[in-house]
Structure 1
Amino acid sequence: MAVKHRIVSASTGKTVRAAPNAGGQSGSALPLRLAAVVLWIFAIAFEVLALCAMTEKIVIPFFANLSPLVAGIVLLVIDFIFVVAGAQFWKKANRIAPASEANALKFWLWNNMGVIACAAAFVPFIVLLLLNKDTDKRTKAVGIAAAAILLIIGGLASYDFDPVSAESYAQAAGTQQVYWTPHGKRFHTHEDCAALSRTEELTAGSVQEAIDAGRETLCKICEKRDAALIEKIKQTPKEKDAA
């Protein structure tokens, strides 16, 4: 049986009637984020190997028959594949658990973590190769050019041109209201969320009001329910354009 809560308005402090909620399918952002981080770690590892191979610091067994320049470029391409793959996982995770638009800088950084990872996977290589005095000019020129091209392509592939915000969760759930408890640390888009089953009183308000009250992140249970609705919102305009 669903728990009946007493809902208090965040703006007026008065008891209000609860708004209806909409359900959604399950989804989890954490495995996707972990996969992205692991792939980015591999990308940076291959960046280090590419630099070592191109500057002839080490000889990699699988690339022993290749010149340092060719071996370095091959390793850079592998670096590129890992960093872009990680970015796609991260962007997919953001469709499930998006950041709030309340802080514009944090919102941009969180949505474009793949771009930051891409920079980390190529910029140090470019700088260190440029500063290396033992590498010949041709190897430097080709290596830096290859890394720069992959950096640009990877950055564009990792950039989220159409990010979703936490505020859209409230809209997707069929209400402009979100809910939070007196002592909780998260806000909820569903008044019947299982995490609220033992709470008698809830505060209802906008996402901004929840953030102002110190509840800056969305409940994990609610984010799973809303994941499919967010994706549906993203796909609807594309379907209309196709029609």
Structure 2
Amino acid sequence: MAKKKITKVEEGTSSQAEPKKFVPTEEAKGKATRLRVIAGLLWLLALGAQAGAIALLFKQPVNMMWIIILIAVDLALAVSGSILWKKSNRLDPASKSNKFMFFMQSQLGLVVAVIAFLPFIIFVLGSKNIDAKQKGILGGIAAVALVIAGITGVDFNPPSVEEYTEQTARVEELTGKNEVYWTKSGSKYHLYDDCHSINRDATTEIFAGTVAKARELKNITELCKFCENRSVKEKEAVPVSEPEAESILEGVLETIEE
């Protein structure tokens, strides 16, 4: 038997491409920037309210009512700023590649809450112009405000570029496009608008958009398992086309002949 020619085939690059990194749209970036500017201004005003409350501690007689009002204003401004800041992060999330910067961008509301109330509490406790009862009242109110502002400022499920990339890639892998469905009261996004979880008598409106849009508008982070399993089963059950079947058959016959 004649010696056969052996042709070495070099291993090429993997056919499975890396998921395309999530990049927010220019519109989303613009909205995020505006929200962050407004949040920053609100936080500055909150610090101003705190400064005013601290200044009143040094004026005799100490006006408790105005100090409490300024604490309430401080709280309202700090909370409003945190809500806007977290919304901006859903539009333009940070990357986890830099852990410190990711924490600062994601949890800046918590940091601001501490700055907006802790100095006042320290001044109250060290003030010689108010008695123990007044210290207890003002310190207690400020402490409660700090807790409220802190909880509001914390993002317990902060968005990230990596998370958006992974979620979008999964949806595109299953459906071939970046489009999902959700409802006003839903907590998951869906691949099918006829999914029994959302297509019910009680549902009046179904929204369609990208994964990022679902996160922006509803802060939805989870894919419906029913839709995911349905898509996987449909992909597995896709029939082989006639040309593909003929090609497979020819390959089998050639293998047998060899």
Same fold (TM over 0.5): yes
Match for residue 35 of structure 2 among 18, 23, 32: 32
Partner of 1:212: none
Aligned twin of 1:5: none
In the TM superposition, residue 33 of structure 1 has moved relative to its aligned partner by 0.6
TM-score (norm 2): 0.57
Deviation by residue 1:105-160 (Cα, 9 ceiling, x = unmatched): 33222211001111111001011222222332222221111101110111111110
Deviation track 1:80-127 (CA, whole Å, cap 9, x = no partner) reads: 000000000110011011111223333222211001111111001011
Partner of 1:41: 44
Q: Tell me if 1:139 matches 2:124.
A: no
Q: Say which of 28, 39, 51 aligns to 2:54.
A: 51
| Other-structure match for 2:70 | 75
Identity of matched residues, %: 30
| Residues 173 and 49 of structure 1, relative CA distance in 2, 3 Å threshold | same
CA contact (8 A) 1:55 1:68 kept: no
Change (3 A) 1:36 1:150: same
Aligned to 1:120: 115
Q: 1:156 to 1:236 in 2, by over 3 A?
A: closer
Q: How far apart, CA to CA, are the structure 2 residues paired with 1:43 and 1:112?
A: 17
2:103 counterpart of 1:100: no
Write out per-residue CA displacement over residues 185-211 of structure 1, whole angstroms, 9 at most, x where no aligned residue: xxxxxxxxxxxxxxxxxxxxxxxxxxx
Pairing of 1:1-243 with structure 2 (within 5 A): 26-27=27-28, 28-56=31-59, 68-174=63-169, 227-228=212-213, 230-231=215-216, 234-235=219-220, 237=222
Relative to 1, partners in 2 of residues 1:89 and 1:167: Cα closer, same or farther, differing over 3 Å?
same
CA distance in 2, matches of 1:234, 1:15: 34
CA contact (8 A) 1:172 1:233 kept: no
Q: CA RMSD in A?
A: 3.8
SS at match of 1:29: helix
> In structure 2, what residue type is equivalent to 1:108?
F
Residues 91 and 111, structure 1, Cα contact 8 Å, conserved in 2: yes
CA distance in 1, matches of 2:223, 2:39: 26
What amino acid is aligned across from residue 32 of structure 1 in structure 2? Answer: L
Deviations 1:203-242 (A, max 9, x none): xxxxxxxxxxxxxxxxxxxxxx9741543794264988xx
Q: State the alpha-carbon separation in 2 of the partners of residues 34 and 226 from structure 1.
A: 25
C-alpha contact (below 8 Å) 1:24/1:228 kept by paired residues: no
* In structure 1, C-alpha distance between the alignment counterparts of 2:143 and 2:51, rounded to whole Å: 16
User: Which range moves more in the overlay, 165-174 or 149-158?
Assistant: 165-174
Give the distance between the partners of 1:239 and 1:55, measured in 2 at CA: 58
- Partners of 1:152 and 1:69 lie apart in 2 by 21
Higher relative contact order (CA 8 A, sep 6+): 1
Q: Structure 1 residues 20, 100: CA separation in 2 closer, same or farther (over 3 Å shift)?
A: closer
Q: Write the distance in 1 (CA, Å) between the matches of 2:49 and 2:58.
A: 14
Q: Distance in 2 between matches of 1:35 and 1:47?
A: 19
Residues 87 and 232 of structure 1, relative CA distance in 2, 3 Å threshold: closer
- What is the TM-score when the length of structure 1 is the normalising length? 0.60
Structure 1: gaps (5+ residues): 1-12, 60-66, 177-224
